[in-house]
A and B are shown apart, each in its own frame.
Chain A
Amino acid sequence: KNEVEQSPQNLTAQEGEFITINCSYSVGISALHWLQQHPGGGIVSLFMLSSGKKKHGRLIATINIQEKHSSLHITASHPRDSAVYICAVMSRGGADGLTFGKGTHLIIQP
Chain B
Amino acid sequence: EPEVTQTPSHQVTQMGQEVILRCVPISNHLYFYWYRQILGQKVEFLVSFYNNEISEKSEIFDDQFSVERPDGSNFTLKIRSTKLEDSAMYFCASKEDKIAKNIQYFGAGTRLSVL
Contacts and interface: CB of A to CB of B under 8 A. Distances in A.
Interface in B51-65: 55-56, 58
A61 to B, nearest CB: 12
State the main secondary structure of chain B at its contact with A. strand
Contacts of B55: 96
B104 A33 contact: yes
Interface string A1-44: 00000000000000000000000000000110101000011111
Nearest to A101: B42
Interface residues of A, number: 24
Contact of A41 (B89, B98, B101, B102): B89
Contact of B103 (A40, A45, A101): A45
B108 A96 contact: no
Q: Is the interface of A mostly helix, strand, loop or mixed?
A: strand
A90 interface: yes
A55 B100 CA distance: 19
A98 B100 contact: no
Nearest to A92: B100
A72 B113 CA distance: 33
Nearest to A48: B103
Contacts of B25: none
B75 interface: no
Given A42-B108, A96-B56, A33 B45 contact: no
B48 A96 contact: yes
6 contacts: A33-B103, A41-B108, A45-B103, A48-B101, A98-B104, A100-B42
Given A86-B43, A96-B98, A97-B45, 20 more contacts: A30-B100, A33-B104, A41-B37, A41-B108, A42-B106, A42-B109, A43-B43, A43-B109, A45-B103, A45-B105, A48-B103, A50-B101, A86-B42, A95-B56, A96-B56, A97-B33, A97-B35, A97-B48, A97-B58, A100-B45
The 10 A-B pairs of least Cβ separation, nearest first, read: A97-B45, A42-B108, A43-B106, A30-B100, A100-B43, A31-B100, A48-B103, A102-B42, A96-B48, A100-B42
